[in-house]
Amino acid sequence: MTANNFDYDLIIIGAGSAGYPTGMYASRYKIKNLVIGAQPGGALATSHKVENYPGTASASGKEIMDNFREHAIASGSEMLSDMVSSVEKQEDHFVIETASGKSFTTRFVVLATGNNYRKLGFEGEKEFLGKWVSYCATCDGMFFKGRDVVLVGGWNTALTEALYLAEICNKVYIVHRRDTFRAEDIWVEQAKKAENIEFVLGEEVESVWGKLFMEEVKLKSGKTIKADGIFVAIWSDPNTTLVDHMNLEKDEEGCLVVDKRQETTIPNLFAAGDVTTNSNKFKQTIMSAAEGCLAADSIHEVMLRG
């Protein structure tokens, strides 16, 4: 038990690129902590290859996350592979319940649950995730350098990712189910000016097909597009379900509003990574890790004050 007679000083919900660094830094500060996550490694663990994490020229997402995990354990963090089912705020602590029936008390909580990419549901989307199918052009675009790709979506994220892909890919097909875009005009106009971007409007993806590599995307109209990869950029939802009953402040996209210390609008409840409004919502592993480290440092400062 901790000095306050709680099970832990800190419980971190989410075992990924924000959760593990939070635990590692908390352990270095001698903060007794537990990292709980149903999916070890989080979303990055599904990436076939990562080449934009500093100091690691090329590695699988799983390899990077395994290293994160081992570093946190070596520093002193405890791990629990389980799903958190509820988070309740008491007077001076939180009560955490898990799907397996475990219950813990803790003075601090860091929510590092990331976001959920909205899926299209086409044939092959799940099977080829991390290979032919991606939800992050910044993360995976370089693997398709000089190749033809399809990007699905019609909002700002889709158009800006298409423009990024156009800089490195041979051809980018933007597939959108509507005849008009909901993105800002400036992005649409820039995409129209790009010589290697082609609009495929009023269409939806039915399936992807290929042997060793992806070869084509089949649309519901029966048309096909020859391409080597597909990027889905329709939307992502911050995973805040566990704390929605607390009525925390959120922005228009549903991200938890946190201050410069990573604290939410409820004292001692912190958040880090893709679920927050910080880091200009630049959803990258290095940013999530930094936010997790900052959350641990902030908690340490609070504990020093008593």
Residue 186 CA to residue 11 CA, distance in Å, equals 44
Last residue of a domain, one of 232, 258, 286: 232
Q: Does residue 136 have an active-site annotation?
A: yes
* Catalytic-labelled residue, pool 7, 140, 148, 228: 140
* 77 and 154 share one domain: no
Output the pLDDT for position 302: 96
* 211 and 185 share one domain: yes
Residue 280 lies in a domain: yes
Residue 3 lies in a domain: no
* Catalytic-labelled residue, pool 136, 169, 255, 293: 136
Last residue of a domain, one of 232, 248, 270: 232
Q: Does residue 140 have an active-site annotation?
A: yes
* Catalytic-labelled residue, pool 139, 169, 255, 293: 139
| Per-residue model confidence as pLDDT tens digits over 103-112 | 999 999 999 9
Residue 24 lies in a domain: yes
Output the pLDDT for position 48: 62
Output the pLDDT for position 44: 80
* 112 and 251 share one domain: yes
Residue 278 CA to residue 271 CA, distance in Å, equals 10
Containing structural domain, residue 34: 8-116+236-305
Please give the share of the chain, as a percent, with pLDDT higher than 70.
Answer: 97
Residue 286 lies in a domain: yes
Residue 30 lies in a domain: yes
Output the pLDDT for position 135: 86
| Per-residue model confidence as pLDDT tens digits over 229-265 | 999 988 778 899 999 999 999 998 889 999 999 999 9
Name 152's Cβ contacts closer than 8 Å, sequence gap at least 6: 120, 158, 174, 175, 176, 205, 230, 231, 232, 233, 234
| Per-residue model confidence as pLDDT tens digits over 271-303 | 999 999 999 888 789 999 999 999 999 999 999
* 53 and 27 share one domain: yes
Confidence band for 1, pLDDT divided at 50, 70 and 90: very low
* 33 and 108 share one domain: yes
Q: Does residue 139 have an active-site annotation?
A: yes
Any idea what the CATH number is for the domain that residue 202 is in? Answer: 3.50.50.60
Name 172's Cβ contacts closer than 8 Å, sequence gap at least 6: 148, 149, 150, 151, 162, 165, 166, 194, 196, 197, 198
* 94 and 242 share one domain: yes
* 129 and 195 share one domain: yes
Last residue of a domain, one of 190, 207, 232: 232
- Averaged pLDDT score across all residues of the chain: 92
* 112 and 242 share one domain: yes
* 49 and 60 share one domain: yes
Q: Please tell me the pTM assigned to this model.
A: 0.74
